[in-house]
């Protein structure tokens, strides 16, 4: 089964953790692909391959940071060869999104 792009993430809104739809946020607004960058779903980053199922995309100038009070990440050996199989792009609705690289 193919991984689906992440569309909902946790975000602190008015001092409450809430699920927010990335397709509706100011911090994902864009005009072209160069406005967008990939972010890892895990606060510790990617371990192994970067793919559609473990990434989301925001505007390169966004101050969106869901991991502000995260615990330090453990030192671990990551499996895989670090293949980047996803890319950030600006969709037709003017929001950063993730798609399979290819």
Q: What is the pLDDT of residue 86?
A: 93
Residue 81 is predicted with a pLDDT of 67
Residue 21 lies in a domain: no
Blockwise average pLDDT, block size 10, the chain, 102 residues = 73 81 91 95 84 91 78 77 87 94 83
Domain enclosing residue 32, as ranges? 28-63+81-102
Q: What per-residue string of b and e applies to 47-67 under the rule 16 or more CB within 10 Å gives b?
A: bebbbbbbbbbbbeebebebe
| Within a domain: 100 | yes
**Domain count across the chain:** 1
Q: Which two tokens stand for residue 35?
A: 């406005």
Please check whether residue 35 lies inside any domain of the structure: yes
pLDDT at site 96: 95
pTM above 0.85, yes or no: no
In a domain, 98, yes or no: yes
């Amino acid at each position: 089964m193919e991984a689906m792009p992440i569309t909902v993430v946790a975000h602190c809104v008015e001092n409450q953790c809430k699920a927010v739809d990335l397709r509706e946020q100011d911090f994902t607004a864009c005009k072209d692909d160069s406005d967008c960058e990939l972010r890892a779903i895990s606060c510790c980053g990617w371990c192994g391959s970067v793919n559609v199922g473990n990434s989301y995309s925001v505007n390169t100038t966004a101050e969106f940071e869901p991991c502000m009070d995260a615990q330090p990440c453990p030192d671990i050996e990551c499996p895989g060869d670090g293949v980047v199989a996803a890319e950030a792009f600006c969709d037709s609705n003017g929001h950063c999104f993730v798609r399979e690289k290819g």
